[in-house]
């Protein structure tokens, strides 16, 4: 039923809880997990020293978030891939889900302020609305 599961990571407690749920589901269905983290666009000043340093910092931060998720998964026979992308999180998650033909997306719910959430919407709301597959939002 769920051969490929996307796990969206942002480093929050909720996203790490999503990893635990994803592991349990993946073990039941012998699914492949794809750990996905997207960091924001950095700047239009490409190839400058400041730009390169900022990208390096964001990549390193993303790698640390993914590594934390891998450690949380522990020893497992589950096949795990990862995607570290630059860009808006919802769009990145949806892109990976489409490209990898995901059967399920699991992500944490992270509260935004009520005004900011009403104006911009949350990543989980956008993903839930536009995903072609089921989305599990973990609290």
pLDDT digits (tens, 9 = 90+) for 77-130: 999 999 999 999 999 999 999 999 999 999 998 754 444 454 456 899 999 999
pLDDT band of residue 52 (cuts 50, 70, 90) is confident
Q: Specify the pTM.
A: 0.89
CA dihedral 92, 69, 73, 34 (to 10 degrees): 10
- Bridge-based pairing state of the strands 104-108 and 80-86: unpaired
Q: Name the token pair of 66.
A: 């993914």
Please report which helix (H) or strand (E) contains residue 4, including its range.
strand 4-8
Measured CA to CA, the distance from residue 37 to residue 9 in angstroms comes to: 5
Q: Is 108 helix (H, G, I), strand (E, B) or coil?
A: strand
Closest CA to 35 of 68, 73, 75, 83: 83
* Domains and their CATH numbers in the chain: 4-138 (3.40.50.620)
Q: What is the pLDDT of residue 113?
A: 45
Q: What is the pLDDT of residue 109?
A: 87
């Amino acid at each position: 039923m769920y051969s490929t599961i996307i796990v969206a990571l942002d480093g929050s407690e909720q996203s790490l809880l999503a990893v635990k749920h994803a592991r349990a589901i993946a073990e039941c269905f012998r699914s492949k997990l794809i750990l996905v983290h997207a960091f924001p666009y950095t700047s239009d000043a490409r190839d400058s020293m400041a730009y390169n340093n900022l990208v390096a910092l964001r990549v390193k931060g993303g790698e640390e978030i993914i590594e934390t998720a891998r450690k949380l998964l522990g020893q497992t026979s589950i096949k795990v891939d990862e995607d570290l992308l630059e860009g808006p999180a919802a769009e990145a998650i949806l892109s990976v889900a489409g490209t990898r033909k995901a059967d399920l997306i699991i992500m944490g719910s992270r509260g935004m302020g009520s005004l900011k959430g009403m104006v911009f919407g949350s990543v989980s709301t956008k993903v839930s609305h536009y995903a072609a597959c089921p989305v599990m939002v973990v609290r």
